[in-house]
Amino acid sequence: MILLNGISDSGGPDTFVDGDLFKKVCYSAMASLGGKVLSFHEPAVAQNYYYAEVSFNRVESLYILLNSIYPFIAFTTSPEPPSMTFVEHKQLTATINQLCGEEYRALHPSELDEPLRLKESKGGLVVLNENTLNKWDMYNIKYWQPKRVGDVVFNYWD
C-alpha cells in the first residue's frame, strides 16, 4: 500500500525521512555509476518531496524523488507536476539498494500511474484505492483533484 496516513504531508505522522542520508545516497550512487548529481533540492513550501537531478550512462537528466514522510522513491523525467513522467530504472534501484539495503522502496511507474479512484459519498469524498489516508489528505485530494496515485505521493500543492 502506498496511500498511507499523511503521505501528502498533511496531518500525518510526525516522522520524516532523513534528507541528509538521501543526499549522500544520491551522490554515492552516481559515483558508483560514473555519473554526477547536477542539483539537489529539499522540500519547499507546497512541495512534499526531495529530489536530485542526476546524469549518467548518456541519460541527459533523470530525477530521483523521495517523499518527505515515507521512504518511497521514484524516478521521473521532470521534477514538477503536472509534467512528471514516472520511469523505471532497475540499475539505479539496484545501486541504491546495495548502498543502503532496504532503506527505500522504489515505486514502480505502474503503481504511481494508477488512476486515483474517487467516489462521492454522503457529501464527502471516498478514495477507492487501498489507503489509510487521513482527513487532511482527503481534504487536499478533494481540493487539488489529483488524477494518479503518484500525484498524491509526490505533490506540489500550492
Measured between alpha carbons, how far is 115 from 113 in angstroms, rounded to an integer? 6
Which pLDDT value is given to residue 109?
Answer: 97
- Return the C-alpha cell found at 70: 515515507
Closest to 69 in 3D by CA, of 25, 137, 14, 106: 14
- Return the C-alpha cell found at 35: 555519473
pLDDT tens digit at each of 158 positions of the chain: 999 999 988 776 767 899 999 999 999 999 999 999 999 999 988 899 999 999 988 777 899 999 999 999 999 999 988 789 999 999 999 999 999 888 999 999 999 999 999 998 887 889 999 999 999 999 999 999 999 999 999 999 86
Which pLDDT value is given to residue 134?
Answer: 93
Which pLDDT value is given to residue 44?
Answer: 86
Radius of gyration of the chain (CA): 16
Which pLDDT value is given to residue 58?
Answer: 79
Other C-beta atoms lying within 10 Å of the C-beta of residue 91: 12
- Give how far the C-alpha of residue 80 lies from the chain's centroid of Cα atoms, to the nearest Å: 11
Instruction: Record the pTM.
Output: 0.93
Cβ atoms 141, 54 nearer than 8 A: no
For residue 112, how many C-alpha atoms fall within 13 Å in the half-sphere facing its CB? 23
Which pLDDT value is given to residue 155?
Answer: 94
82 prior amide bond cis, ω within 30: yes
